[in-house]
Amino acid sequence: MYYVYILQTESRGKFYIGHTNNLKERIKRHNEGRSGYTKRGQWKLYYFEKYKTRSEAMRREKEIKYKKSRRYIENLGS
């Protein structure tokens, strides 16, 4: 199983979009500072979707990123 996920910082309200096959471990790595963009701050899971294949998850991740819309992301999480 693969996941497309969106993280959000509580302090700055920024979003991060990614994909993984181990959601729990990936969030842990982000919060331990082992990922570039998310090095600073604590991140919480805002939204996720499940996919059977990595290619499906990657396609969806790109789709969300290309929207370049905070409103779109916020609507996903509500």
Range of the domain at 16: 2-77
The 10s digit of each residue's pLDDT in 25-48 is: 999 988 888 777 777 778 999 999
pLDDT of amino acid 5: 97
| Confidence (pTM) | 0.90
- pLDDT over 90 at 15, yes or no: yes
φ and ψ of 37, to 5 deg: -60, -35
**Which tokens is 11 given?**
């302090």
Question: What is the gyration radius of the CA atoms in the chain, in angstroms?
Answer: 12
Total of domains in the chain: 1
CATH code of residue 55: 3.40.1440.10
Residue 5 has phi, psi (to 5 degrees) of: -135, 155
Q: What are the pLDDT digits (tens) for 46-67?
A: 999 999 999 999 999 999 999 8
Give the per-residue pLDDT at 40: 74
List 6's β-bridge partners, or say none: 17, 47
